[in-house]
Amino acid sequence: MQILSVPSHAPLVRDRAAAVELIQIANDPLVEAAHAHPSKFRALLAMPLQFPDAAVQELDRLAGRPEVVGTIVVGSAGGRQLNDPEILPLFAELERRNLPFLLHPISPPGLDCMLELNLANVVGFMFESASEAEAIGGTNAARLLGIPIETGT
């Protein structure tokens, strides 16, 4: 059994219609491949994180299918951190649906400089994964414990 996923760059796209279209272009073939070969494949959905309501619509569209076992969350949502108050309800929705997510790095801070020095894979993506995991985990842990969340600009 293999789990198919596409670390889509759609969450970096600022145009809503284009982001939704890219997500569907990424998700539909994966889900169809898993449907065609149920003994071999399952799928993780890509989501337009920068448009949380559209992400929930994508969950509504596909998450109930037996081939779908979770989502892939990239480390950027249109340039916003994943603990942005507008994005947090999406994680609550994933929790409500009991859907796990795979955190995948996509665009660490200082990427241009790191690419020049060949450090993106060694340092950048690990830093991005760790910082976003802390942001998501810390924020959600605080929410679950009833600790007020302060957000700064």
Phi, psi of 107 (to 5 degrees): -155, 80
Reported as a single tens digit per residue, the pLDDT across 34-87 is 999 999 999 989 988 889 899 999 999 999 999 999 888 877 677 777 777 888
| Total domains present in the chain | 1
Q: What is the pTM of this model?
A: 0.71
Domain presence at residue 89: yes
Strand pairing report for 41-46 and 2-4 = parallel
Phi, psi of 65 (to 5 degrees): -75, 145
Domain presence at residue 151: no
Q: Check which CATH number belongs to the domain holding 100 and give it.
A: 3.20.20.140
Give residue 129's domain range.
Answer: 2-145
C-beta contacts of 18-26 below 8 A and 24+ residues apart = 19/48, 19/50, 19/51, 19/54, 20/48, 20/51, 20/54, 20/57, 20/58, 22/48, 23/47, 23/48, 23/54, 23/58, 24/58
Domain presence at residue 116: yes
